Structure 1
Amino acid sequence: MIAYLHQKYALSLLVACLVVGAVALAREKHDKQASSNGSLFSCPAGQEDAMQYFVMRKDLREDHYLSGEANPSYTRIFPDVDFAATGYWFWLKSPEAHGFDIKAFDEKYIYIRGTELEWKDNRTFKRKEQDNALSTRCVPVNGASPTQRVSNARFNFYENCKPYKSSTLGTIVDDLDAPEMMDAGGDIGEVSTRVLHYRFNCDKHFENCKDEEQSFLGKGYGRWKWVHLKYGEVVKTTVVNHISKGTAHAIPPCESAYK
């Protein structure tokens, strides 16, 4: 009888320990989530985070990418949340990171940082001497971002992760339009879209820009259309509006490209 009572007491004690442990783990998980959520960036009332348009949302980018008539577009963002106060991300044009665009962000702006040089060798790339602002981080919910004018458009060419020469794009003028419902077609369909106008090779007065790249940024999807204009005439258009399953298993190998 005494042995039975000892066994019963030991079993009750074990169950109590398991319950306490489970509660502690749940509390720790909640605290971590609260801490993580507390570190996420937010905009003032009446404004929204432009990152929602630039970057595919987390639940999609974890195992999907955009595909279409041109190179696919995989999104890798660091840190991998929606969205931190500061960080950077890649638009990867292949799962092996051959072909890429690098952007960065902080609490004030979203920036262009660099892009590929030779597709076959992702240890070659072009990087801005300093990050160039594309848009303010917070934008009016139904309005455009203030125009960004960049006087220092110099950038460096890299090979084997090291710079070897520099060049310039004149001056740069950037605009991010107010959101507009557009039909992206494919698997995306109707989506709230902001168009980024990246004008470069402009004169010292930020006028007479020779080139413009337009990025159609769908909320929750990122860039689904890209247009290149030369002297106001369209020279190339690409659309990636299909949501395909898969992930990129690499990023550019040179930290000097993105850090």
Structure 2
Amino acid sequence: MFAILGAAGKVGYATATALRAAGFPVRAILRDPAKASRLSGLGCDVAIADLMDPAALAEAIADAEAVQIILPPPLRAEDARAEMRRATGSMVEALRSARARRVLAISDYGAHVPDDIGMPTMYRLFEENLRPLPLSKIILRSAEHMEGWARAIPVALATGILPTLHQEMDRDFATVSAADVGRIAADLLSEPETGGPERIVHAEGPRRCSAADVAGAVSALAGRAIAARAVSRSEWQQSLERVVSPSIASLLVDTYDAHDRGGLIDVEPGRGEVRRGTTDLTDALRRFVPVA
């Protein structure tokens, strides 16, 4: 039986779906009981536990063959760094208390970088806190989610301009569908253990793309020209605060500064493997563009 923390989210739901399709028992761990029916409909056992309640988490993951954990960015948190550290501590305490045998942790590209580069740094700390635990670990680092562009699509459709914090429109970067991350995680969980204490895997899509490629995909779906345009660095914080808290916005500003330095938010050199999803950019964005 596999326990999936955050099973109602995009990645967790994809993992649960793939595991159930393969015939594995799944315990879906949710915070919100209102989201249970979709998982129950897959045939999952459902457990309710808050991420910040280590005792409830330990009970929910008890007896699992392996546990998938995820550290969700708290989009409205007053102090996102502190809240992500508390969530990390809660999950580590639960895994230790439940004496879990194996864990798959969803992390982030760039989590190997020692400098503070915003969001990837929070996942570096996440990984570092997991390392002392006496259990087998798979660290699945995810590239930027294709679905994250959904927030900019309404603006692009209204104005013909796709705003982006990437400053070079033709520079390729790694990106992946969230659903593919979940499917890759399911494959890794169902594979035989390799025997090592830690395995690093990087998840990205079938090919890398640029902001101009994203605009091209939206253009093809909308049936009219859309151009990518960089948001001025001086406007990043204010622009991000329209949709997330100032503390999350600050983490993202640091992240995109690292993107623009190049080579940081990427595969860790000389370590781990790359698994590629099959969903291309156009298919990932299709549901966000209204059919004419």
Which one has a larger percent strand, Structure 1 or Structure 2? 1
TM-score, normalised to structure 2's length? 0.24
* Largest Rg, 1 or 2: 1
TM-score, normalised to structure 1's length? 0.26
